[in-house]
A and B are shown apart, each in its own frame.
Chain A
Amino acid sequence: MLEENGLSRRTLLHRALILAGASAAIGACDAIGLADDDSPFRFDAEQLALLTAVADVMIPKGNSVGALDAGVPASFEGLMANWASAETRVSMLDQLALIDALDPEDAAFASLPAERQAELLTAHDAAAIAPSDAPNTNPFGPPPATNPEYQRLKQLLVTLYYLSEAALTQEIAYTHAPGEWKPSVPVTPDTRPEGGPGMF
């Protein structure tokens, strides 16, 4: 439906984010990968609205930058198009659909007031992320959760946010070439964790 009106998908995504109050350009996530216009996978308009709402309530702008500033919906769609297997796509769509069905009155999640969205997703998140007894096989990942598929959806959205230029320059910190190793730095109220690669 989006492509029927003759506008490019990228333009539509850009407009959708601007309408949603995002301040950063989509370009922030270009390299992570946006879905091409001829991509084999794209969200339809309703799915895109749902994804945008979920990302916004999960990582709101607050007093810094949020998921929409960071272009997370567009880059998530890009991941689904360029990275995800068919199985992963189905799983992620299922998880989004579960969120869309949270309202007892059957209202679409994206149509709900922000406060109600937050209330529903908070409860859903708490139940889904509750610890499970599954063995922890990845020392670098989050602890095993009751709903690992929702945990994966959340992990993708959160990771895309913290990989973004917006988050790494305005929410936490990142220095691409530190140039020196300082083994001891005092912590102050302004200290922010450094994101990016590297174990130590």
Chain B
Amino acid sequence: MDFDAIVIGSGMSGGIAAKELTERGMKTLVLERGGNVERGKDSADWMRPWELPNGGNIPEQELAADYPVQSQCYALSSATKQLFVKDSEHPYTTPEDKPFSWIRGYHLGGRSVMWGRQSYRLSAMDFEANVRDGHGADWPIRYDDIAPWYDHIERFIGVSGSREGLPQLPDGDFLPPFALNDAELQFKSAIEGNFPGRKVIPGRVANLSEAREHHRELGRAPCQVRSLCERGCTYGAYHSSINSSLPAAERTGNLTVVTDAIGHSIIHDPESGKATGVRVIDANTREATTYTAKVIFCCASTIGTAQILLNSKSEAMPRGLANSSDMVGRNIMDHLYGLVTVAIFDNMPDSYYFGRRPTGFYIPRYRNLDGSDGDYLRGYGFQGGFSRSGGAGAAMGAPGIGEELKAHGRALGPWTMFLAGFGEILPHPDNRVTLSESETDQWGIPLPHIDVALRENELKLAAAIQEDGRAMAEAAGGTVVTSLGTPQPPGLGIHEMGTARMGTDPATSVLNKWNQAHDVPNLFIADGAAMASSGCQNPSLTYMALSARAADTAVSMLAEGAL
């Protein structure tokens, strides 16, 4: 064997899997389909506004030709485009009437380099949701199984937040929160007074509000409150694979990283029933190479992992690797996204703030907490924030030129609230990715065909989100100026998950309670593909906790001779 372990993918889950495996003495190979990216050297966080190419805009012709999907992501700009794939080079298909926005970055660290960093635990309620209402497969774990791993990850990556004692959003080992500003405090008071059960709390975010010793050992420094995170952070102040997990893995001396290595398939030995290695295609030369290892971790992201498994079909596994259940590729979920309420307030304190904190406020789920579902199942939470505008936004907000325009731009504008709901999408087997039988990419790999639709429950949630958003804005004295009530296409929440779900029954799930494939004992999958339900919380923290737990388990199983 070339290695003890191979990790396919270097993003959020792959980075953590590599860290945990190498720290346990495993000689580990990380395969990354994109190129190398280094903190600092490849970060564009040094650019001041007047140094942004084209003022931050990507040339229109280039945007239309190369980034028709990626341009839907808020984080794409002339300062970050090197971190996003060109859609023209990485095609996929969807049914004409079912758009799916697949936002991607192919480089070392993957999307962990540009992620939104919001970090929330799932709760006991979330791990019991499927069995309670009958949608999807029951999770094979409960909150108590993963709680210690949430602790472990939060300590390592650094999550700022406040302890609130909410059962639907468990607390963790937090760094100090980025405090609410004056308008948000007044909003909090209004919401919690008018709507019992609702809470407005500081957003929990994987930015170092303070750097502890173990963060500094990895060269990480406190957040400078610039809100330039998606460009990469020279200070290493937010968690990403290149800021923390891969450096931690590297210092063990057990890590090998190969970039530009596109995961083609996983090799399966029908005699032993095990995976023996990974076949990769060099992104530049198109040469094929096979690496072998005792254990394989597939962390290629939800769609990518399904693509590799489905492309690994063999005589013994004609539907694809680890797919005896026919669940590989099915049950794609995301979060309802783009449900935005904007309101202006004239009753807030005349104060300001300093700094651009890398988060805002969060309103944890408050619907259907007690098991008495109403018109819809599950629930939603909100992310938002209050700010006071000035500059170009204020100057453009009204007619006028000359000194009048400049006066608008120079004045502190009214407090404006941005509120975005994130709703749970139910697992549905018809929401799936399959592989094209006729079309391949430039490396000869069949194109993914992504077929995902929002259904009745999601549309009811969307309506409830907008109704509640308006009600909360108005209850706090605001005037709603924008209400976007149509969800954006699935995928744009950039929380796609579920294509190799965990479950107790090998007939209806792909992975067991250790993220181990039912069909292939030395294959572990711990990225978003493993999720059996989505909750309404941002999921990366859960992916990382599952990855660490799975790595710990795999090493124990190897030591016990169980693999």
A165 touches B48 (CB 8 A): yes
Would you give the shortest CB distance from B352 to chain A, in whole angstroms? 5
A79 cross-chain contacts in B, Cβ below 8 A: 54-55, 57
CB A73 to nearest CB in B, in angstroms, measures: 14
Chain B residues with Cβ below 8 Å from A126 are: 399-400
**Contact indicator A193/B182 (Cβ below 8 Å):** no
On whether the beta carbons of A200 and B226 are closer than 8 Å, the reply is: no
Residues on B with C-beta less than 8 A from A29 are 50
Q: Do A181 and B357 have beta carbons less than 8 Å apart?
A: yes
Instruction: Say yes or no: A172-B50 contact (C-beta < 8 A), given A191-B352, A195-B390.
Output: no
Verify B54–A82 contact, CB threshold 8 A: yes
A130–B484 CB distance below 8 A: no
Say yes or no for B180: interface residue by CB 8 A criterion.
yes
Contact of B411 among A62, A64, A163, A193 (CB under 8 A): A193
Which A residues lie within 8 Å of B356 (CB)? Answer: 178, 194, 196-198, 200
Of A59, A185, A192, the residue contacting B351 (CB under 8 A) is A185
A41, chain B: closest CB distance, angstroms: 12
Given the known interface contacts A83-B57, A142-B397, A154-B396, the answer about A176 and B353 at a Cβ–Cβ threshold of 8 Å is no
- Contacting pair A197 B49 (CB below 8 A): yes
The answer to whether A183 touches B180, judged by C-beta atoms less than 8 angstroms apart, is yes
A171 to B8, CA, bound (A): 50
Q: B197 within 8 Å of A by Cβ?
A: no
In the complex, how many angstroms separate the beta carbon of B385 from the nearest chain A beta carbon?
4
The B27-57 residues at the A interface (CB cut-off 8 A) are 47-57
B225: interface (CB < 8 Å): yes
Known interface pairs A82-B59, A194-B390. Does A182 touch B355 (Cβ–Cβ under 8 Å)? yes
Q: Which of B84-92, B401-409, B428-436, B518-526 makes up part of the contact surface? A: B401-409
Bound Cα distance from A143 to B397, whole angstroms = 7
CB-CB under 8 A for A62 and B225, given A185-B352, A187-B352:
no
B454 at the interface (CB under 8 A from A): no
Cα–Cα distance between A14 and B267 once the two chains are bound (Å): 64
Q: Which of A5-13, A45-53, A117-125 lies at the binding interface?
A: A117-125
Please, which residues of chain A bring their CB within 8 A of the CB of B377? none
Closest B residue to A156 by CB, please name it: B55
B124 interfacial by beta-carbon distance below 8 Å:
no
Contacts of B484 in A (CB 8 A): 137, 139
A125 touches B399 (CB 8 A): yes
Question: How distant is B354 from chain A, measured CB to nearest CB, in Å?
Answer: 4
Q: Is A136 an interface residue (CB 8 A)?
A: yes
- Residue pair B412, A191 in contact (C-beta under 8 Å): yes
The answer to whether A163 and B52 touch (CB under 8 A), given A179-B225, A181-B354, is: yes
Please tell me the size bucket of the interface on B.
35 or more
Known: A58-B405, A162-B391, A163-B50. A185 touches B353 (CB 8 A): yes
CB distance from A62 to the nearest CB of B (A): 6
Contact check: which of A78, A143, A193 meets B413 at CB < 8 Å?
Answer: A193
The answer for the CA separation of A85 and B335 in the assembled complex, in Å, is 34
B51, A31: Cβ atoms under 8 Å?
A: yes
Q: Which residues of A lie under 8 Å from residue B350 when comparing CB positions? A: 187
Q: Is the CB of A32 within 8 A of B52?
A: yes
Interface residue? A148 (CB, 8 A): no
Chain A neighbourhood of B391, CB < 8 A: 162, 167, 172, 193, 195
Assembly CA distance A39 to B170 (angstroms): 57
Check B347 for interface membership: any CB of A closer than 8 A: no
- Cβ of B543 within 8 Å of any chain A Cβ, yes or no, is no
Residues of A within 8 A of B340 (CB): 139
B394 is an interface residue with CB less than 8 A from chain A: yes
The answer, yes or no, to whether A28 is at the interface (CB within 8 Å) is yes
Partner of A171, one of B58, B224, B410: B410
Q: How far is the CB of B106 from chain A (nearest CB, A)?
A: 24
Contact (A159, B411) CB under 8 Å given A198-B227, A199-B227? no
Q: Quick check: B410 and A200 within 8 Å, CB to CB?
A: no
Contacts of A60 in B (CB 8 A): 402-403, 406
With A and B bound together, what is the CA distance between A57 and B405 in angstroms?
A: 11
- Chain A contacts of B179 at CB under 8 A? 181, 183
Contact of B385 among A57, A141, A179, A199 (CB under 8 A): A199
Q: How far is the CA of A118 from the CA of B409 in the complex (A)?
A: 18
Q: Which of B194-237 contact A (CB under 8 A)?
A: 209, 224-228
Say yes or no: is A186 at the interface (Cβ < 8 Å to chain B): yes
Docked-complex contact A174 and B388, CB < 8 angstroms: no
Interchain nearest-CB distance for B86 vs A (Å)? 18
**Most chain B CB atoms below 10 A, which of A59, A162, A179:** A162
Question: Which residues of A have CB within 8 Å of B60?
Answer: 83-85, 88
Docked complex Cα distance between A141 and B481 (Å)? 12
A168 within 8 A of B: yes
Q: Which residues of B contact A194 (CB under 8 A)?
A: 354, 356, 390
CB < 8 Å neighbour of A130 from B357, B388, B394, B399: B399
Distance in angstroms between the alpha carbons of A179 and B227 in the assembled complex: 11
B405 touches A172 (CB 8 A): no
**Chain A contacts to B: CB under 8 angstroms:** 28-29, 31-33, 57-60, 62, 64, 75, 78-79, 82-85, 88, 118, 121-122, 125-126, 129-130, 136-137, 139-143, 151, 154-155, 158-165, 167-168, 171-172, 174-187, 191-200
**Extra pairs beyond A141-B396, A167-B391, A194-B354 (6, CB < 8 Å):** A60-B406, A83-B60, A142-B397, A179-B224, A181-B357, A183-B353
Interface pairs (14), CB distance under 8 Å? A58-B402, A78-B54, A83-B55, A158-B392, A158-B405, A162-B392, A167-B391, A171-B409, A178-B225, A179-B224, A185-B352, A195-B390, A200-B181, A200-B227
10 A-B pairs with least C-beta separation: A193-B390, A198-B356, A198-B227, A200-B385, A178-B355, A162-B392, A85-B60, A129-B399, A31-B51, A182-B354
